[in-house]
Amino acid sequence: MKVFSTTTLFATLVLGLLCSLPVGAAQEIAERSTPELLRYGKALFERGECFSSRYLFQQVLEREPQNREALSGKGRALICEGSFEEGIDALKQVAELAPKAAGVYTQLAGAYLEQYKRDPETHEGRLQDALDALDQADAQGASSAATMNLRGVVYYRQGDLQQAKDALEGATEQAPEVADYHLSLGLVYVQLGDTDAAIETLRRAVSLEPENALGHNQLGQAYLLSDRCDDAVFELEQAATLAPNEAAVNLNLGIANFDCENYEAARPYLEKVVALEPTAFAPAYTYLARIDLEADDLDGAVTQATKGALLPPANAEAYYWLGQAYAARGDTASDGTPDSSKAEDAYRRALELDPLYKPAQDALDAR
């Protein structure tokens, strides 16, 4: 017989009552003690039931408006729901009630970072807010692997790779068993161009969490950058098995197979990308065009390259391969003479987008 914990049973009861019997739910919750509501609210939050957990924390606050644990729970639940301003206000109330409670500053830093990630252009200033909150956490003696990791991620988002590296190396040294910290550090190593360190770090992350699709995906990308296409294909196949409908994973696996010259093996992954996200991944169309070029399907190459070139944001590589597709097809004018204008226009558009894009300039010079 399957045994359920008291927390699980009550969490299930609350969820059922909240969904179907609101009057009964209110009566049931009113009979629970504050410690019970806090405990069950945390359990629901950990299950990802943001709204339901917030409802319980709010019941506590109606009894005790300054209950710090309930305010903190409510704030985190609101952040989870995407109500950033309200959530941040709740966490700020906790900081006002207990200015020496270091943990709330870490929570605030995380909230600021999440708000920035939701809309970087509008909330760019939240990165500095996050660093200020982490400084306050450190001042209260809360420096930990978690705060160092947060600091490293914020520095990475700001483009300060060296400070990101230093902070994340500190996090992984202090908590070597946390895969997420290694994933963040591996990404920084990739951006710094140290692919050997990236591979070592990401392999550690994957060994800690073998079922983490993101880890296999990042490790596969690091192998690609090191021209180790077979290793890249292996890792990306693991990622695709774990996350078969993740467009970015399928794109990377398609590119890895292409780099290994397994063109027909690459095709289904790239076709899956455009089926999943028809307008989000222009490189998928560009690589499909290149596969068609290898297969001498010149009309197909032009069609795929055109789709890739027209997707925003416009980029030089897409237009270069559109030019290559037109050039390979060898269009003719109405009088039967060769017409290279479409290819040349595509090469010129590539150079407009990136004047230093040498392949396009070489193609023009050769015509």
Can you give the CATH number for the domain in which 194 is found?
1.25.40.10
Domain holding 3, by residue range, is 1-98
194 plus 245 within the same structural domain = no
In a domain, 113, yes or no: no
Beta partners for 332? 338
Q: Which residues contact 176 (CB under 8 A, 6 or more apart)?
A: 204
Nearest to 344 by CA among 358, 364, 328, 318: 364
124 plus 179 within the same structural domain = yes
How many domains is the chain partitioned into structurally? 4
> What is the C-alpha to C-alpha distance for residues 122 and 119, in angstroms, rounded to an integer?
6
* Dihedrals phi, psi of 16, to nearest 5 degrees: -65, -40
Tens of each residue's pLDDT in the chain, 367 residues: 344 444 444 444 444 444 433 445 556 676 789 999 999 999 999 999 999 999 999 999 999 999 999 999 999 999 999 999 999 999 999 999 999 988 999 999 999 999 999 999 999 999 999 999 999 999 988 778 999 999 999 999 999 999 999 999 999 999 999 999 999 999 999 999 999 999 999 999 999 999 999 999 999 999 999 999 999 999 999 999 999 999 999 999 999 999 999 999 999 999 999 999 999 999 999 999 999 999 999 999 999 999 999 999 999 999 999 999 999 999 887 777 788 999 999 999 999 999 999 999 999 999 8
Asked whether the beta carbons of 323 and 363 are under 8 A apart, the reply is: yes
For 129, which DSSP code? Answer: H
Nearest to 254 by CA among 234, 274, 233: 233
In a domain, 239, yes or no: yes
In a domain, 111, yes or no: no
Q: What angle do CA 257, 240, 118 make, to 5 degrees?
A: 110
28 plus 93 within the same structural domain = yes
In a domain, 220, yes or no: no
142 plus 79 within the same structural domain = no
53 plus 35 within the same structural domain = yes
66 plus 44 within the same structural domain = yes
In a domain, 141, yes or no: yes
> What is the C-alpha to C-alpha distance for residues 225 and 220, in angstroms, rounded to an integer?
9
Q: How many CB atoms lie within 10 A of CB 187?
A: 22
269 plus 288 within the same structural domain = no
263 plus 285 within the same structural domain = no
22 plus 65 within the same structural domain = yes
**Helix 145-158 vs helix 179-192: crossing angle, to nearest 10:** 30
For residue 62, the surrounding DSSP H or E stretch is: helix 50-63
Predicted pLDDT at 23: 45
In a domain, 34, yes or no: yes
> What is the C-alpha to C-alpha distance for residues 121 and 116, in angstroms, rounded to an integer?
8
356 plus 282 within the same structural domain = yes
143 plus 192 within the same structural domain = yes
Burial class (CB in 10 A: 0-12, 13-18, 19+), 137: buried
In a domain, 285, yes or no: yes
In a domain, 22, yes or no: yes
346 plus 361 within the same structural domain = yes
Task: Reduce the DSSP state of residue 178 to 3 states and report it.
Answer: coil
